[in-house]
Amino acid sequence: MVLMVAALSTSCRYNRNITYFTEVERDEAKEIINIYNSVVLPGDNLHIYVSSNTPESVVAFNEETNGTMSLGLSDKQDSCIGYTVSGSGAIRFPFLGKIHVAGYTLDSLELVLQAMLVDSGLVKDPVVDVTLTNFRVTVLGEVKHPQQLHPDGMRLTVLEALAMC
């Protein structure tokens, strides 16, 4: 009887230690140094905001940004603000027309749009801010709440995503 109790109490126990990060010494903090800048792809939704020392000169560029459009990603209506990159990798920007944006990083797209606005004579001193609004991460598996996350920033680590679920 004692032998059976001992066998049952240890048979369901998992004794192996699991090492999640083999390259990190125990109790050692590591700084995340990778700087990631998203590349624009077809289907991305961009929020583009143009500002200037003369606010009246940029009102037309921000009208599209102030409207909402449905993405149709789920049963509940997700709405985003901004410009959706077409399958060919372009957006239609006021006064500048069709602009190919796929393949640019967000930082380089800001510089390209600023240069186009200056070169066209539309705005003398534009400051362009481009952000990706449909960045999302799906977490599935053995977590308490499997879900799709819509983080505020453009960066989310695996541990942060797991902690949120």
> How does pLDDT run across 62-90, given as a tens digit for each residue?
865 554 443 434 333 344 568 999 999 99
> How does pLDDT run across 102-154, given as a tens digit for each residue?
999 999 999 999 999 999 999 999 999 998 888 888 888 777 888 888 777 66
Confidence (pLDDT) at 76: 38
User: Is the pLDDT reported for residue 52 higher than 80?
Assistant: yes
Confidence (pLDDT) at 11: 55
* Contact between 99 and 89 (Cβ < 8 Å): no
Question: Nearest to residue 94, comparing CAs of 45, 59, 127?
Answer: 59
CA angle 131, 112, 154 (to 5 degrees): 20
